[in-house]
């Protein structure tokens, strides 16, 4: 695959996350970094091997989200990594798959790995469908397909919730940002959060820095939306299109740059 586009999608995800956190990776960005470290070494995704890495690293975090707490509790009760995921229907997991798209080869392997990676913390139909939908759109972007058409066409294959979210975004595409994003919803849920993310991509896919600004002003699940948008925009337009001047200010820049360069 095109190296510039692959670097665009992986950096787009991390840049989107760090932009909303004073240039520091959020807990979502950290999880993406753990995944990048693992896939860089293994060049595959094993839910049990990565599950061990995730469990160890997450157990050392001082503040964790409810989905992670529920997953850790389920693991402690005896469930395996294939059945310990929470019942959350959150947007946060959808943007954390960039490392799989960056490192793995073959669409079938990528989508299967993304399903397992989603289930690690979010074992719900909505999160799996949203994750696979965004992954398929991202892969289409690598081959220079039209952004708007792809977002709308691929949604039909991923269930009623995903299709409705995309339709809502398209229906409000020409509304002012503040009004549209308020109507669509800005919280960390698939319903509402995905529609807001699609709205931002529809209107600002040719200007990632402007997208980040508008997204930040909207509040709510800013990192979650920006990570997803960054993956898609980076895959479509390449690394230079998503490289703001502050990229080297990210707190984990050296580690990320070394991993991505391998």
pLDDT string in tens for the chain (262-residue length): 799 999 999 999 999 999 989 999 999 999 999 999 999 999 999 999 999 999 999 999 999 999 999 999 999 999 999 999 999 999 999 999 999 999 999 999 999 999 999 999 999 999 999 999 999 999 999 999 999 999 999 999 999 999 999 999 999 999 999 999 999 999 999 999 999 999 999 999 999 999 999 999 999 999 999 999 999 999 999 999 998 889 999 999 999 999 999 9
- Count CA atoms closer than 13 A to 194's CA, side-chain side: 28
pTM of this structure: 0.97
Distance CA 99, CA 186 (A): 25
| Per-residue pLDDT, 1 | 76
Distance CA 2, CA 179 (A): 37
Q: Where are the chain's structural domains?
A: 3-261
CA torsion angle for 48, 51, 53, 59 (degrees, to 10)? -140
| Per-residue pLDDT, 259 | 98
| Per-residue pLDDT, 69 | 97
Distance CA 102, CA 6 (A): 6
CATH class given for the domain over 3-261: mainly alpha
C-alpha separations of 146 from 154, 184, 205, 232 in Å: 12, 23, 11, 12
| Per-residue pLDDT, 243 | 87
């Amino acid at each position: 695959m095109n190296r510039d586009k692959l670097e665009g999608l992986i950096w787009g995800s991390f840049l989107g996350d760090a932009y909303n956190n004073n240039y520091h990776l959020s807990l979502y960005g950290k999880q993406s970094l753990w995944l990048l470290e693992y896939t860089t070494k293994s060049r595959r995704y094993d839910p049990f091997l990565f599950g061990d890495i995730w469990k160890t690293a997450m157990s050392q975090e001082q503040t964790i989200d409810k989905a992670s707490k529920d997953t850790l509790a389920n693991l402690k009760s005896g469930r395996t990594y294939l059945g310990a995921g929470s019942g959350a229907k959150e947007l946060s997991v959808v943007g954390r798959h960039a490392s799989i798209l960056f490192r793995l080869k073959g669409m079938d392997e990528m989508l299967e790995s993304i399903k397992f990676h989603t289930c690690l913390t979010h074992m719900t139909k909505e999160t799996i469908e949203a994750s696979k939908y965004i992954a398929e759109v991202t892969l289409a972007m690598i081959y220079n397909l039209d952004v708007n058409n792809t977002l709308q066409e691929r949604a039909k294959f991923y269930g009623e919730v995903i299709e409705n979210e995309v339709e809502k975004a398209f229906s409000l595409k020409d509304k002012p940002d503040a009004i549209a994003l308020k109507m669509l919803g800005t919280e960390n849920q698939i319903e509402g959060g995905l529609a807001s993310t699609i709205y931002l991509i529809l209107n600002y896919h040719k200007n990632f820095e402007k997208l980040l600004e508008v997204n930040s002003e909207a509040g709510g699940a800013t990192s979650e939306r920006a990570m997803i948008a960054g993956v898609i925009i980076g895959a479509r337009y390449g690394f230079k299109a998503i490289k703001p001047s502050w990229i080297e200010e990210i707190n984990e820049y050296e580690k990320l740059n070394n991993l991505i360069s391998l």
